[in-house]
Amino acid sequence: MSDVNVFEPDWDAEGPDPFRGRIMRVGHRAGAGELGATLYELDPGGATSPYHLHHGNEELLVVLDGRPSLRTPAGTRELAPGAIVAFPRGKDGAHRVFNASDGRARVLIVSTMNYPEVAEHVDTGTVLAITEPSQALAFPAGTDKPVMEAVVAAMRAAAEPDGGEEPGGAQPPGT
Protein backbone atom coordinates (compact mmCIF):
# COMPACT_ATOMS: atom_id res chain seq x y z
CA MET A 1 0.00 0.00 0.00
CA SER A 2 1.26 3.48 -0.81
CA ASP A 3 0.14 7.04 -0.31
CA VAL A 4 -1.90 8.24 -3.26
CA ASN A 5 -3.13 11.77 -3.83
CA VAL A 6 -5.57 12.61 -6.63
CA PHE A 7 -4.61 16.31 -6.38
CA GLU A 8 -0.88 15.55 -6.80
CA PRO A 9 -0.94 12.64 -9.27
CA ASP A 10 1.99 10.57 -10.40
CA TRP A 11 0.56 9.53 -13.78
CA ASP A 12 0.87 5.92 -14.96
CA ALA A 13 0.36 6.68 -18.63
CA GLU A 14 -0.61 9.25 -21.19
CA GLY A 15 -3.43 8.11 -23.42
CA PRO A 16 -2.96 8.31 -27.20
CA ASP A 17 -5.45 10.06 -29.47
CA PRO A 18 -8.48 9.89 -29.08
CA PHE A 19 -8.06 9.47 -25.29
CA ARG A 20 -5.98 12.68 -25.00
CA GLY A 21 -5.16 12.70 -21.33
CA ARG A 22 -3.41 11.08 -18.42
CA ILE A 23 -4.32 8.03 -16.32
CA MET A 24 -3.40 6.91 -12.81
CA ARG A 25 -4.68 3.63 -11.36
CA VAL A 26 -5.21 4.87 -7.82
CA GLY A 27 -7.09 1.83 -6.49
CA HIS A 28 -4.23 -0.52 -7.35
CA ARG A 29 -1.65 1.89 -5.95
CA ALA A 30 -3.61 2.26 -2.71
CA GLY A 31 -3.73 -1.54 -2.29
CA ALA A 32 -7.39 -2.17 -3.19
CA GLY A 33 -8.18 -5.76 -4.08
CA GLU A 34 -11.88 -5.69 -4.90
CA LEU A 35 -12.32 -2.07 -5.93
CA GLY A 36 -10.86 -0.36 -8.93
CA ALA A 37 -10.34 3.39 -9.05
CA THR A 38 -8.80 5.30 -11.92
CA LEU A 39 -8.01 9.00 -12.08
CA TYR A 40 -8.32 10.57 -15.53
CA GLU A 41 -7.18 14.01 -16.56
CA LEU A 42 -8.74 14.76 -19.93
CA ASP A 43 -7.43 17.39 -22.30
CA PRO A 44 -10.01 19.16 -24.51
CA GLY A 45 -11.40 16.57 -26.94
CA GLY A 46 -10.29 13.63 -24.77
CA ALA A 47 -12.37 10.73 -23.42
CA THR A 48 -12.03 7.95 -20.85
CA SER A 49 -13.40 5.26 -23.19
CA PRO A 50 -15.92 4.60 -25.95
CA TYR A 51 -19.64 4.56 -25.12
CA HIS A 52 -19.91 1.24 -23.25
CA LEU A 53 -21.69 -0.83 -20.63
CA HIS A 54 -20.63 -3.53 -18.19
CA HIS A 55 -22.46 -6.77 -17.42
CA GLY A 56 -20.42 -7.73 -14.33
CA ASN A 57 -19.40 -4.47 -12.68
CA GLU A 58 -20.87 -1.16 -11.70
CA GLU A 59 -19.04 2.14 -11.72
CA LEU A 60 -19.21 5.49 -9.94
CA LEU A 61 -17.97 8.76 -11.47
CA VAL A 62 -16.75 11.68 -9.33
CA VAL A 63 -15.93 14.96 -11.09
CA LEU A 64 -12.94 16.51 -9.32
CA ASP A 65 -12.28 19.46 -11.63
CA GLY A 66 -13.40 20.95 -14.92
CA ARG A 67 -16.61 20.38 -16.82
CA PRO A 68 -16.62 16.96 -18.52
CA SER A 69 -19.56 15.76 -20.59
CA LEU A 70 -21.43 12.54 -19.97
CA ARG A 71 -23.36 10.47 -22.52
CA THR A 72 -25.90 7.99 -21.13
CA PRO A 73 -29.07 6.39 -22.54
CA ALA A 74 -30.90 9.55 -21.34
CA GLY A 75 -28.73 11.81 -23.53
CA THR A 76 -25.63 13.97 -23.16
CA ARG A 77 -25.05 16.59 -20.49
CA GLU A 78 -22.24 18.63 -19.01
CA LEU A 79 -21.20 17.87 -15.43
CA ALA A 80 -19.96 20.33 -12.82
CA PRO A 81 -17.14 19.83 -10.30
CA GLY A 82 -18.41 17.71 -7.42
CA ALA A 83 -20.96 15.80 -9.54
CA ILE A 84 -21.30 12.09 -8.74
CA VAL A 85 -23.01 9.65 -11.11
CA ALA A 86 -23.50 5.89 -10.74
CA PHE A 87 -23.50 3.47 -13.67
CA PRO A 88 -25.33 0.21 -12.83
CA ARG A 89 -24.63 -3.02 -14.67
CA GLY A 90 -26.41 -3.53 -17.97
CA LYS A 91 -27.96 -1.28 -20.61
CA ASP A 92 -29.17 1.35 -18.14
CA GLY A 93 -25.56 1.95 -17.10
CA ALA A 94 -24.16 2.65 -20.57
CA HIS A 95 -21.90 5.70 -20.50
CA ARG A 96 -19.10 7.70 -22.04
CA VAL A 97 -17.16 10.43 -20.24
CA PHE A 98 -15.50 12.98 -22.51
CA ASN A 99 -14.23 16.53 -22.46
CA ALA A 100 -16.03 18.88 -24.86
CA SER A 101 -14.85 21.95 -22.92
CA ASP A 102 -11.90 24.25 -23.65
CA GLY A 103 -10.12 23.37 -20.37
CA ARG A 104 -8.87 20.20 -18.73
CA ALA A 105 -11.23 17.98 -16.75
CA ARG A 106 -10.27 15.58 -13.95
CA VAL A 107 -12.53 12.67 -12.98
CA LEU A 108 -12.24 9.66 -10.71
CA ILE A 109 -14.01 6.46 -11.73
CA VAL A 110 -14.47 3.81 -9.03
CA SER A 111 -15.71 0.31 -9.89
CA THR A 112 -16.27 -3.14 -8.54
CA MET A 113 -13.71 -5.59 -9.92
CA ASN A 114 -15.66 -8.75 -10.68
CA TYR A 115 -14.12 -11.24 -13.11
CA PRO A 116 -14.88 -12.60 -15.55
CA GLU A 117 -16.53 -9.49 -16.97
CA VAL A 118 -18.33 -8.84 -20.23
CA ALA A 119 -18.46 -5.30 -21.55
CA GLU A 120 -19.94 -3.92 -24.76
CA HIS A 121 -18.93 -0.97 -26.91
CA VAL A 122 -22.47 0.05 -27.77
CA ASP A 123 -21.79 2.12 -30.92
CA THR A 124 -19.77 -0.60 -32.68
CA GLY A 125 -21.31 -3.75 -31.21
CA THR A 126 -17.90 -4.99 -30.06
CA VAL A 127 -18.05 -7.36 -27.07
CA LEU A 128 -15.14 -7.59 -24.64
CA ALA A 129 -14.47 -10.70 -22.56
CA ILE A 130 -12.29 -9.67 -19.61
CA THR A 131 -10.90 -12.51 -17.50
CA GLU A 132 -8.59 -10.43 -15.27
CA PRO A 133 -7.42 -6.82 -15.15
CA SER A 134 -4.76 -7.26 -17.82
CA GLN A 135 -6.38 -10.02 -19.89
CA ALA A 136 -9.17 -9.21 -22.35
CA LEU A 137 -10.33 -10.32 -25.78
CA ALA A 138 -12.40 -8.18 -28.18
CA PHE A 139 -15.02 -9.68 -30.47
CA PRO A 140 -16.04 -7.13 -33.13
CA ALA A 141 -19.64 -7.15 -34.32
CA GLY A 142 -20.25 -9.80 -36.96
CA THR A 143 -17.69 -12.25 -35.60
CA ASP A 144 -20.21 -13.93 -33.32
CA LYS A 145 -21.78 -17.28 -34.13
CA PRO A 146 -24.36 -19.51 -32.46
CA VAL A 147 -22.96 -21.24 -29.36
CA MET A 148 -23.63 -24.78 -30.59
CA GLU A 149 -21.86 -24.05 -33.89
CA ALA A 150 -18.77 -22.91 -31.95
CA VAL A 151 -18.93 -25.94 -29.62
CA VAL A 152 -19.18 -28.39 -32.53
CA ALA A 153 -16.26 -26.70 -34.32
CA ALA A 154 -14.17 -26.91 -31.14
CA MET A 155 -15.02 -30.58 -30.69
CA ARG A 156 -14.02 -31.30 -34.29
CA ALA A 157 -10.76 -29.38 -33.89
CA ALA A 158 -9.98 -31.30 -30.70
CA ALA A 159 -10.38 -34.54 -32.61
CA GLU A 160 -7.99 -33.54 -35.43
CA PRO A 161 -4.49 -33.64 -33.84
CA ASP A 162 -4.36 -37.43 -34.34
CA GLY A 163 -5.31 -37.41 -38.01
CA GLY A 164 -8.99 -36.63 -37.50
CA GLU A 165 -9.75 -39.75 -35.50
CA GLU A 166 -11.50 -39.85 -32.17
CA PRO A 167 -9.85 -41.93 -29.42
CA GLY A 168 -10.43 -45.60 -30.14
CA GLY A 169 -10.42 -45.11 -33.92
CA ALA A 170 -13.95 -43.65 -34.29
CA GLN A 171 -14.42 -40.89 -36.86
CA PRO A 172 -15.60 -37.47 -35.63
CA PRO A 173 -19.23 -36.59 -36.39
CA GLY A 174 -19.89 -35.31 -39.90
CA THR A 175 -16.94 -37.04 -41.62
Encode pLDDT of 120-170 as tens digits.
999 999 999 999 888 999 999 988 888 899 889 889 999 886 645 545 544
- Percent of the chain clearing pLDDT 70 (strictly above): 90
Run of H or E including 27: helix 26-30
The Cβ of residue 56 has, within 10 Å, a number of other Cβ atoms equal to 15
Residue 1 — pLDDT band, cuts 50, 70, 90? low
d(CA 157, CA 150): 10
Residues 39, 26 contacting (CB under 8 angstroms): yes
d(CA 85, CA 91): 15
For residue 150, the model assigns a pLDDT of 86
Domain ranges of the chain: 13-118
DSSP state of 166: P
d(CA 59, CA 35): 10
Pick the closest to residue 125 from 143, 144, 141 (CA basis).
141
Q: What is the CA radius of gyration of the chain?
A: 21
pLDDT tens string 92-117:
999 999 999 999 999 999 999 999 99
d(CA 62, CA 6): 12
For residue 74, the model assigns a pLDDT of 97
Residue 175 predicted with pLDDT over 50 = no
Rounded to 5 degrees, φ, ψ at 90 are 90, -170
The Cβ of residue 3 has, within 10 Å, a number of other Cβ atoms equal to 7
Please state the pTM of the whole predicted model.
0.84
Run of H or E including 29: helix 26-30
pLDDT tens string 11-62:
999 988 888 999 999 999 999 989 999 999 999 999 999 999 999 999 999 9
Per the CATH hierarchy, to which homologous superfamily does domain 13-118 belong? Jelly Rolls (2.60.120.10)
d(CA 1, CA 157): 46
